[in-house]
Homo-oligomer: A and B are copies of this chain.
């Protein structure tokens, strides 16, 4: 028996899964941390509540999701005091995420002395980005001083689904070029060449790139200046607007793609436009990454929208026949991990369920057993 506990600590919720090998023994989410009349008053209380309800006999390691690993963390890392300090040093780069991740690790460490804690970083998979992909075209001294570069996120998911794509194709991971599309509440694209991330759409923060549930993705930076000058908005207010009131929500009033599709089907014009903007952005990234990779073996959809929204997959890849990319309507309407391109297509289009927690468990176990 070798149990692994995975903790994904957000600012107001903590998700947990307990594995024995590949088997999920228990899972759940504690929500509304710190909300008046809501759940536990802080992360310590929440984690005590979680730990109190689990049978932790034989627990060998706790794996923690950490959003930002900066340039320092390029792989899952056993936590010690120096690692905690380093994660805390990265808070300015991820003010919304790293503090909660850190709190989770600190509390779990105290509550479970003697159990190794492993930090698994969303950014780590992207440490292979070439300099030309990671560098923004701004003053290099300013960039250096403030840590401004493309870090990329969702790395655990892109790593997992690109490896699973190679398995599905029955080909060695290090020979396959895949474009992975993680479309959840957050969304990002990644070009994976032979198991290495060579391009990704999220950048210094998870705001850049694809259109998301509530985030704008790419936009002209002048918009920020304009909202400041003409709208009289403060920088924090603009930050909040672009992160929490933009994307599908800002365009259509809803951020859940199920609801968006229903409204679009009912003739709602705002929903139809939001859908078009969302899918067009995906099309652009597929084309861009196709050009960067030169040759593409697979395009893989994952996460809530990617796995379940067939119309998004159809629209995002429409008109790409010249690139060898087509979708078979019947396969697209199916379910489960599968190919949705026709047999013999040049580019395999795949749907693969992501499982970031399982991947974190695997990575955490590998750190303590020295495996990989």
- CA gap between A277 and B143 in the complex, in Å: 14
Looking at the assembled complex, report how far the CB atom of A247 sits from the nearest CB atom of chain B, in whole angstroms: 5
A137 interface residue (CB < 8 Å to B):
yes
- CA gap between A292 and B140 in the complex, in Å: 33
Chain A interface residue count, CB cutoff 8 Å, equals 77
Given contacts A135-B273, A230-B146, A292-B283, contact A222 B241 (CB under 8 A): no
CB-based contact A225/B235 at 8 Å: yes
Given contacts A229-B92, A322-B295, contact A219 B251 (CB under 8 A): no
A48 interface residue (CB < 8 Å to B):
no
CB-based contact B284/A216 at 8 Å: no
A71 interface residue (CB < 8 Å to B):
no
- CA gap between A130 and B272 in the complex, in Å: 13
CB-based contact A137/B250 at 8 Å: yes
B-contacting residues, A227-279, CB 8 Å = 227-231, 235, 238-239, 241-242, 245-248, 250-251, 270, 273-274, 276-278
Of B140, B203, B215, B287, which contacts A270 at CB under 8 A?
B140
B-contacting residues, A173-212, CB 8 Å = 202-205, 207-208, 211
CB-based contact A142/B286 at 8 Å: no
Of B139, B277, B283, which contacts A135 at CB under 8 A?
B277
Instruction: List the B side residues contacting A132 at CB < 8 Å.
Output: 273, 276-277, 280
**SS class of chain A's interface: helix, strand, loop or mixed?**
helix
CB-based contact A133/B280 at 8 Å: yes
A 156-171 to B, binary, CB cutoff 8 A, 1 in contact else 0:
0000000000000000
CB-based contact A319/B290 at 8 Å: no
A223 interface residue (CB < 8 Å to B):
yes
B-contacting residues, A128-158, CB 8 Å = 130-133, 135-140, 142, 145-146, 148, 150
A224 interface residue (CB < 8 Å to B):
yes
A82 interface residue (CB < 8 Å to B):
no
Of B241, B295, B322, which contacts A142 at CB under 8 A?
B241
Looking at the assembled complex, report how far the CB atom of A126 sits from the nearest CB atom of chain B, in whole angstroms: 14
CB-based contact A227/B146 at 8 Å: yes
Given contacts A146-B230, A294-B319, contact A136 B219 (CB under 8 A): yes
A16 interface residue (CB < 8 Å to B):
no
Instruction: List the B side residues contacting A146 at CB < 8 Å.
Output: 226-227, 230-231
Of B130, B208, B228, B285, which contacts A220 at CB under 8 A?
B208
Given contacts A137-B246, A251-B137, contact A208 B221 (CB under 8 A): yes
Residue of chain B at shortest CB distance from A207: B222
A83 interface residue (CB < 8 Å to B):
no
- CA gap between A321 and B294 in the complex, in Å: 7
A 310-345 to B, binary, CB cutoff 8 A, 1 in contact else 0:
000000000111110000000000000000000000
Residue of chain B at shortest CB distance from A286: B291
Looking at the assembled complex, report how far the CB atom of A279 sits from the nearest CB atom of chain B, in whole angstroms: 8
Instruction: List the B side residues contacting A284 at CB < 8 Å.
Output: 288, 291-292
